[in-house]
Chains A and B, each alone.
Chain A
Amino acid sequence: MTAYSLVLIAYLSVLFFTSGFTSLVLQTCNFIQNLVNLEICMLGIMLVFILFSVYLNEPTGQMHALYTIILAAAESCFGLALLSILLRRRGGIVFEDNYTFYAGQLA
């Protein structure tokens, strides 16, 4: 690996994070897509940690990357559990409209 590939990974991480984050904020119709977007965000962050641990020559950054992954795993685990509840209670996970899905108005 050279400095060129480092820069490439940096661009890749920024790309991952921005794409994942924007789609996480904007996309609310499909819950699985939300989970995937969250994972992609976490991937970008993990890449940043690994990249700079290599660049700054610190072994702790890779450990931080591992922490990030465990955190993402926990979140996805919980998200999948929520997904199963959604399937049971709602019968599907795709929602027609963002607004009707989230506007919790009583009466």
Chain B
Amino acid sequence: MMMSVLIKRIIKKYYKNTYESPFMAYTLLGKFLNILERNPEETQTPLNQPEELTAFIAYLEENDTNEAFFLDYQRSSAIGVPHTESQILIDKNNALSEEDLLYLINAYDYSQDTDMLEYAESIAFDKFEFPWVFNSDYIVYKSLPTEIATRNQTSILKELAYTDISRLRNSTAYSFLLDDGPRPHNQIAKGRHWYLDFLQDNFVQVAPAVDKQIIETHEDMVDNYPEPEEDNENHMDYTPSIFKKTFNGLDWSFVFLIIWFFLLKITISTLDAEGFTFVYKLFFSKYWFFMLVVWFYIIQIEYWIGVLVGKIALFDSDPDGSEWWDLEEYAPMYDVFIMYMCMFLVNWLDVVTSTYYRYLTGLRTFSIIRSIPNIRAQLYISIYSIMKRTPNTYLNSLTHSYCSLFFVIILYFYYATFYFFYFILGSFNKLYYVYFLKATSKYLFIKGTVLSFYNFCIEYYDVMVNIEDSVGYLFLEVDPVTIVLELFFLFSSILGLLYSRFSYIKVNKLIDALEKKHNPEVVFSDPTTLSAMYPYMRFYLNGAVIIEHMKRILPIYLIFTIIYVKNCWGYLYFGHIFGKYVFTPAELYRTDGAIRFTSDLFGYLKENYATTNTKIAYYGPQLNDFFESSITGGWDATSVFLFFILKSCIVISGFWTIVIYYIYYYYSLLYADQEKNESATSKYDTRRILKPGYSVINIPRPEFIFTLVFIAALGVFSLSTTSVLVMIMCLECLTLATCYAISNLPTVRSTDAAVKYFIISAIASCLLLYGAAFIYMSVGTLDLIKVSQILVFSIDKEYSFIVISGFLLFLLSFFIKLSAFPFFGWSLDIYSLCDIPTLFFISVFSKFLLIFLFFKFFLLYGFAVFSSHAVATSIVISLLSVICGSFGVAYVQEFRRFVAWSSIMNFGYILLLFTLIYTNCALETLVTYLVNYLLVNMVLFAILARFSVVYTFNLLTDFSKLQLEPLYVVYAFIALLSLAGVPPFLGFFSKVFIFNTIYVTHLGYSFAVFTMLLSVPAYYGYFKAVRNLFYLSTPDGRIFKAEFLTESEQTEYDNMTVYFIQDPIDPSRYLKEFEILLANNSKLKVFSQHNLASLANEPVKSYGTFNYGFQCCLNFFYAFASICLTFGSTTSSYIIHNVFILSKANTSKIYLIDSYDPIHAFTFLDFIRDCSADLGIFVMDVFIVSFCLFFCLFFLFLVLSALKFLIDVFLHIFWDYNLLSLLADARIPYIATDTQHSLYRLLLRFTSIYCDIKNYLLKKK
């Protein structure tokens, strides 16, 4: 036994943890001191060790009152730990007690003296027939007989305290002791936290009183506990006793359930295409419909009776002899029973209401499809109830809370599925809107129920511990302020929905009246009549209704954002006020992180932060230095701030998705009349959406869009759980919402794309679930805090194959969903089938959510233990996806595929940043990159959503159509160039920051240059798109300037369509001018955005001003965003990036990670510290100057747009203001009268040289 080795090991492993987990170091040092005393000649004195260790030893010596230590100490000194085989042989003859031998074995195990350990084990087996199985690596305690457990329980637990937590956690004895052993009732209720509390009570807080109390209560329990029956079986039978008890009589009913399940499977699988169409026909004929419903419910009743019979049979075969009507014994069973009855009644109510609606509306309902998940939920509830039916007291105490939680959660998810179902239904007929409202109100009701349930449970601490133990911290981000806000949200949304319901009825009545007036004999649900009365639906289709929707949706959405912004800050501001009364897991993981603040940016946080520091720790456990060095434990103000920015990015992108949908639907309504001119549109024109039969579909339905985004975001923001499985369920919310968004268009292709996305997401979620199952297999829990705890404590050891493969499965599914390199194929196909707003939804919003999830999943909860594996895979994958994406951008011709490739490339860079996240400025760079990407895409997609309604937008050459409104060319020019990363624009800065981040790490300068060079091919693609902004390109590759057309060129335009577009102020004004123009110039095909013939009879002036206001707002926003992009680029990115880095460098500690070279980190930190003062002044100067500039431009633009608006209205009112009369002689196909087009002309002048050269070359050929 080398004593120096032991000392080194202790110091290496636990020197840093002395404050974090003192009991570990305490126990080890106890061993250490024991051995020291017995072998003084071998040892080196502990005085050689660092000061803290000696101080700690002194601390140990002072606290003599700790019984746990000194009992063992005295006992071991009395026995005398033997060191040779001869001594053991001598001891074998003596009478060693069981406890002493146990202690001996453990001591050998700690000293890694394997020979002696095996010898002691053999002695133990010979002498006492110990039921312990010792491995050299870890200890597995299997089937500890209850006699020993009752007798030696405290001593065993003290012995267990000397082992690692990871070893302990892997052992079944741990769970055995918690589940089966007789203990005080409150300890049982606390469940898994019991052991931790036990350790803390005994070893950390040095509380002998608690120890005594435990022992006394333990003795009481021993007296009261019934003696266990003697088992005749061998002790070496390793099957757990609880397992036997539970599954003794269960075999046939289990088999029955499995058979039923397979019958269900077979019935589904036999329905191939023809069979399904047969059933489909039956399903839609009147009588068979009812028969099928009855059939389904008969099956349910049969099954229900079967389960009851099974239960009765089980009760008969119960070993305890109690009867099934014994209510007191099996009260939880009857809870389940009542719950089951409730579900059944709910089903029937659904059927009744659906049939009622069916008779009311003459429409068919999907009750059968709807009832399938219902049936299966009941099935598995009953499986669970049977499995839970056990005389074990611990499980019985759990059953109440489990069942009540089940009831809530199942209903919650059940109605969430309803929600999506009604989305789909609502796309067919607007009468399903009623169903949608119904489902929404139910959903909100259930949400309120969940919240009230939680409020109720806060008061009962024990119950809550049980629930959180099983589910993870499901409702973690809840404090009184949140509850108030959520209730406010609940009531306001219910009110809003009621209002929308009434307004819907009002509009419906209006339509009915119109219909009766003009066409009294039509059936309402006939789509052709809808198209017939479509002109009259203009009343509610125009902007006034949109404003109504906006009015009632926007407050809800604002509250929604407030809630989640508050959740981010809640623990900073309010947590310290209410924190004492709300349970947080931070109480379990105490820390004392002292954070210092030097930056004035967070000055107002100074006072609160010291008190709320424990509250912040809830984001992740601070267990040891590993966590503190990562961003997990760090959680200084900068990290919280960056996390807040990440969250707010998602909120903004969700909000912008809604805005883009609004723009899209608004313009599609404006141009809806043009649908009748189908000859001019191409085959894949987006205007074909507005077919006569389907014209109702694309009525703006802001509720649907809102709830779409809401559910997706809610799914991911409710990731405050620490349970992996709840995380996966939240992810499913996102995928289902995305699936609905893809199937938004009423075409076959969009449905195909939705099916494909469904299958892809199913594959990914299967992989996720299987990975979770792997982790559960090896670790035994899915609570992320515990998982990370276990993995960190066993950091020195090699992980098992199962854990690694589980985490790799997680990575794989995330790569599939983010469409990284090998899995990007689906994204190209699906993107190319979407409309523009959906494209934004998929490519930006849902990817941001996924990044957020990735962030929390792999980084916050200490999964960074696997960084060496994750880095190796994800560096390769990210680089390959960058290469792939850049070449794809260079190659591609279609616009949607262009977006797909560019998002692959950009998210490749983001994944690269994830691999470097433990270096100093990577998190800041990541957030900066995401913010920049979001801004650029917001502008680009807002422009395209407006244009894709009017024109086809399939190819990159379609960018030339933007020239018809030259102001948009400027915006698109800025957006595309900043997407490419050309120096003065925004994307350039994110690339610079990435370069800086890589340069700082050990990867070095050459690697940074390499990664930057990877994106060079993409520049070709981006410039190709930019070139199309300034030239008209014909299909044969020739390009033309848009400005000056010679006569020879104009003859070539004969066969082309020349587009003509104005602001949709009042189209009837241009009517005569158009006709004159057409009469004069027969070669020119003018393609107006309004159907002139229909507009001639319509009174359209009523909504003219609104349209113009909307247009002005849009213009204003585009200008605002583009100014942000250009002038705000330097300031915003510098603020986000440098200020945070500076504050972090001043406040936080030095970061040391094994996998990275620490030298670079040190040098960078020193550099930053030297330059911090100067840089801070510089950054503040830049900020002030650019803010002034930005504000001036903002004000200027505000004044200009207001002036333009006033002048136009003035002219419109007092003169017959005709733009076209001014342009009668003009040969250019667009109108360029405004001063705002001067910038575009300037750009054209610069680019005209290129056009001349190209045409000259073409002519030469």
- Give A5 Cβ to nearest chain B Cβ, in Å: 9
Contacts A69-B380, A71-B728, A93-B276 given: A76-B372 contact, CB under 8 Å? yes
Contacts A70-B413, A81-B421, A104-B829 given: A31-B755 contact, CB under 8 Å? yes
Asked if B996 is an interface residue, CB under 8 A from chain A, the answer is no
Chain A, 5-31, contact with B by CB distance < 8 Å: what is the 0/1 string?
A: 000000000000100110011001011
Q: In the assembled complex, which residues on chain A have CB atoms less than 8 Å from the CB atom of B428?
A: 88
A40 to B769, CA, bound (A): 13
Asked if B471 is an interface residue, CB under 8 A from chain A, the answer is yes
Q: Which of A1, A63, A70 contacts B243 (CB 8 A)?
A: A1
A65 to B829, CA, bound (A): 34
* B413–A74 touching, CB < 8 Å: yes
* A24–B762 touching, CB < 8 Å: yes
Q: In the assembled complex, which residues on chain A have CB atoms less than 8 Å from the CB atom of B370?
A: 77
Q: Which among B263-271, B628-636, B942-950 touches the partner chain?
A: B263-271
Q: In the assembled complex, which residues on chain B have CB atoms less than 8 Å from the CB atom of A73?
A: 372-373, 376-377, 417
* A104–B773 touching, CB < 8 Å: no
* B739–A78 touching, CB < 8 Å: yes
A31, A33, A61, A66: residue with the most chain B Cβ atoms closer than 10 Å: A66
* A59–B395 touching, CB < 8 Å: yes
Q: In the assembled complex, which residues on chain B have CB atoms less than 8 Å from the CB atom of A38?
A: 762, 766
Asked if B882 is an interface residue, CB under 8 A from chain A, the answer is no
Q: Which of A48, A57, A85 contacts B175 (CB 8 A)?
A: A57
* A30–B273 touching, CB < 8 Å: yes
Q: Which of B373, B409, B781 contacts A74 (CB 8 A)?
A: B373
For B895, give the chain A residue with the smallest CB separation.
A106
* B366–A84 touching, CB < 8 Å: yes
Q: Which of A74, A85, A106 contacts B732 (CB 8 A)?
A: A74
A62 to B425, CA, bound (A): 34
Determine the interface band of chain B, counting residues with CB < 8 A from chain A: 35 or more
* B766–A62 touching, CB < 8 Å: no
Q: Which of B243, B276, B384 contacts A54 (CB 8 A)?
A: B243
Q: In the assembled complex, which residues on chain A have CB atoms less than 8 Å from the CB atom of B471?
A: 63
* A36–B268 touching, CB < 8 Å: yes
Q: In the assembled complex, which residues on chain B have CB atoms less than 8 Å from the CB atom of A86?
A: 751, 755
Chain B, 824-847, contact with A by CB distance < 8 Å: what is the 0/1 string?
A: 000001101100000000000000
* A69–B273 touching, CB < 8 Å: no
* A106–B729 touching, CB < 8 Å: no
A105 to B369, CA, bound (A): 32
Q: In the assembled complex, which residues on chain B have CB atoms less than 8 Å from the CB atom of A17?
A: 766, 770
Q: Which of B247, B470, B683, B746 contacts A60 (CB 8 A)?
A: B470
Chain A, 35-60, contact with B by CB distance < 8 Å: what is the 0/1 string?
A: 11011111111001100101011111
* B417–A77 touching, CB < 8 Å: yes
Q: Which of A21, A49, A63 contacts B773 (CB 8 A)?
A: A49
For B375, give the chain A residue with the smallest CB separation.
A73
A1 to B271, CA, bound (A): 35
Contacts A82-B743, A85-B751 given: A58-B780 contact, CB under 8 Å? yes
- Give A70 Cβ to nearest chain B Cβ, in Å: 5
User: Number of A interface residues, CB 8 Å?
Assistant: 71
A2 to B1192, CA, bound (A): 80
Chain B, 799-842, contact with A by CB distance < 8 Å: what is the 0/1 string?
A: 00000000000000000000000000000011011000000000
Q: In the assembled complex, which residues on chain B have CB atoms less than 8 Å from the CB atom of A82?
A: 424, 739, 743, 751, 754-755, 758
Q: In the assembled complex, which residues on chain A have CB atoms less than 8 Å from the CB atom of B377?
A: 69-70, 73
Q: In the assembled complex, which residues on chain A have CB atoms less than 8 Å from the CB atom of B53?
A: none
Q: Which of B175, B406, B414, B777 contacts A52 (CB 8 A)?
A: B777
A13 to B787, CA, bound (A): 24
A68 to B276, CA, bound (A): 27
For B831, give the chain A residue with the smallest CB separation.
A104
A38, A60, A80, A90: residue with the most chain B Cβ atoms closer than 10 Å: A60
* A62–B384 touching, CB < 8 Å: yes
Q: In the assembled complex, which residues on chain A have CB atoms less than 8 Å from the CB atom of B176?
A: 57
Asked if B335 is an interface residue, CB under 8 A from chain A, the answer is no
A36 to B755, CA, bound (A): 14
Asked if B387 is an interface residue, CB under 8 A from chain A, the answer is yes
Q: In the assembled complex, which residues on chain B have CB atoms less than 8 Å from the CB atom of A85?
A: 424, 427, 743, 751, 754
Chain B, 1127-1139, contact with A by CB distance < 8 Å: what is the 0/1 string?
A: 0000000000000
* B766–A32 touching, CB < 8 Å: no
A80 to B398, CA, bound (A): 36
A106 to B265, CA, bound (A): 38
Asked if B759 is an interface residue, CB under 8 A from chain A, the answer is yes
* B776–A49 touching, CB < 8 Å: yes
* A63–B420 touching, CB < 8 Å: no
Q: In the assembled complex, which residues on chain B have CB atoms less than 8 Å from the CB atom of A41?
A: 762, 766
- Give A22 Cβ to nearest chain B Cβ, in Å: 11
- Give A85 Cβ to nearest chain B Cβ, in Å: 5
* A62–B369 touching, CB < 8 Å: no
Asked if B782 is an interface residue, CB under 8 A from chain A, the answer is yes
Q: In the assembled complex, which residues on chain B have CB atoms less than 8 Å from the CB atom of A106?
A: 684, 832-833, 894, 896, 954
Q: In the assembled complex, which residues on chain A have CB atoms less than 8 Å from the CB atom of B243?
A: 1, 54, 57
For A105, give the chain B residue with the smallest CB separation.
B832
Asked if B45 is an interface residue, CB under 8 A from chain A, the answer is no
Asked if B637 is an interface residue, CB under 8 A from chain A, the answer is no
- Give B398 Cβ to nearest chain A Cβ, in Å: 6
Q: In the assembled complex, which residues on chain A have CB atoms less than 8 Å from the CB atom of B758?
A: 78-79, 82
* A28–B759 touching, CB < 8 Å: yes
Q: In the assembled complex, which residues on chain A have CB atoms less than 8 Å from the CB atom of B388?
A: 59, 62
Asked if B410 is an interface residue, CB under 8 A from chain A, the answer is yes
A104 to B751, CA, bound (A): 11
* B242–A77 touching, CB < 8 Å: no
Asked if B416 is an interface residue, CB under 8 A from chain A, the answer is yes
* A81–B748 touching, CB < 8 Å: no
- Give B233 Cβ to nearest chain A Cβ, in Å: 12
For B472, give the chain A residue with the smallest CB separation.
A60
Q: In the assembled complex, which residues on chain B have CB atoms less than 8 Å from the CB atom of A42?
A: 766, 769
* B372–A77 touching, CB < 8 Å: yes
Asked if B172 is an interface residue, CB under 8 A from chain A, the answer is yes
For B381, give the chain A residue with the smallest CB separation.
A66
* A69–B387 touching, CB < 8 Å: no
Asked if B462 is an interface residue, CB under 8 A from chain A, the answer is no
Contacts A42-B766, A66-B380, A104-B753 given: A32-B421 contact, CB under 8 Å? no
A34, A61, A70, A79: residue with the most chain B Cβ atoms closer than 10 Å: A70
Chain B, 224-268, contact with A by CB distance < 8 Å: what is the 0/1 string?
A: 000000000000001110110011001100000000010001001
Q: In the assembled complex, which residues on chain A have CB atoms less than 8 Å from the CB atom of B251?
A: 1
A1 to B245, CA, bound (A): 10
* B756–A78 touching, CB < 8 Å: no
* B242–A57 touching, CB < 8 Å: yes
* B763–A56 touching, CB < 8 Å: no
Q: In the assembled complex, which residues on chain A have CB atoms less than 8 Å from the CB atom of B100?
A: none
Contacts A64-B725, A103-B829 given: A34-B759 contact, CB under 8 Å? yes
Chain B, 760-775, contact with A by CB distance < 8 Å: what is the 0/1 string?
A: 0011011001101100
Contacts A77-B417, A107-B954 given: A21-B766 contact, CB under 8 Å? yes
Q: In the assembled complex, which residues on chain A have CB atoms less than 8 Å from the CB atom of B729?
A: 67, 70-71
Q: In the assembled complex, which residues on chain B have CB atoms less than 8 Å from the CB atom of A81?
A: 366, 369, 420-421, 424-425
Q: In the assembled complex, which residues on chain A have CB atoms less than 8 Å from the CB atom of B725?
A: 64, 67-68
Q: In the assembled complex, which residues on chain B have CB atoms less than 8 Å from the CB atom of A69?
A: 376-377, 380
* B420–A78 touching, CB < 8 Å: yes
List 30 interface pairs A-B (beta carbons < 8 Å), by A numbering.
Answer: A17-B766, A24-B759, A25-B763, A57-B243, A58-B175, A58-B780, A59-B388, A59-B470, A60-B469, A60-B470, A62-B387, A64-B772, A69-B380, A70-B373, A71-B728, A74-B413, A74-B732, A75-B736, A77-B421, A79-B758, A82-B751, A82-B758, A84-B369, A85-B743, A86-B751, A86-B755, A87-B277, A88-B428, A90-B748, A104-B829
Give the 10 A-B CB pairs with smallest separation, nearest first: A73-B373, A104-B829, A94-B273, A48-B773, A104-B833, A81-B424, A74-B417, A41-B766, A60-B470, A69-B380
Apart from A36-B269, A106-B894, what are 14 other A-B pairs with CB-CB below 8 Å?
Answer: A17-B770, A44-B770, A45-B770, A48-B773, A56-B780, A57-B243, A58-B175, A62-B384, A63-B402, A66-B381, A81-B421, A85-B427, A94-B272, A104-B749
